[in-house]
Amino acid sequence: MSYYSNPRFSTPANQGGPLIRSFLEADSQTFKAGQLVYLNSNGKYITAAASNATTVLGIAKKDATNVSTGHIYIPVEIIRPGDEIEIDVLLTATDADAAETQLLQNFALDVTSNQCKLDLDDTGNDLMTLQKIVSTTTVIVTFLASTLQYCKGY
């Protein structure tokens, strides 16, 4: 399994740890293990979440195969309300790192080169809430229940 600088479970809010289910990958997917994914509108295939995503199912545990036929099942760690997820911060010239003043604010997702990060510069596409600062480049977040497919269905 490849590791990219991607989200990972810190503390599941539910007893028993993360819920893992397998779903077929959508056509021509190039996501990597650790990337955030969502189920498409028919609820059958998973697709990589993009920057400014408004819906998330969970974290892919296996790389996609980038095929248009012969799809494989990809195990996904389902993100549920209250699950704490460790994620890296998008470092830019305007925001060098997360600040204490940003705790409990909502932020968007940035996806670049198969890496999912919290975007401190984007508070207009709310997906996750900053809960804790782990280091200058890593934070703990929870996802808004309104963005989780676990809550709103497929």
Q: How far is CA 106 from CA 55, 88, 126, 142, in A?
A: 14, 15, 5, 9
Paired tokens of 144: 């808004």
Distance CA 144, CA 35 (A): 18
Token output for 139:
């934070």
Per residue in 1-56, pLDDT tens?
334 467 888 877 777 778 899 999 999 999 999 999 999 988 889 999 999 999 99
* Burial 88-122, CB ≥16 within 10 A → b, else e: bbbeeeeeeebeeebeeebbbbbbeebbbbbbbeb
For 115-140, the pLDDT digits (tens) are 999 998 888 899 999 999 998 889 99
Length of the chain: 154
User: Which tokens in the block code for residue 129?
Assistant: 């809430």
Decide which of 81 and 98 is more confident: 81
User: Residue written as tokens 């779903």?
Assistant: 23
Task: Give residue limits of the domains in the chain.
Answer: 8-80, 84-149
Q: Could you report the per-residue pLDDT of 42-96, keeping only the tens digit for each?
A: 888 999 999 999 999 999 999 999 998 888 999 999 999 999 999 999 877 565 6
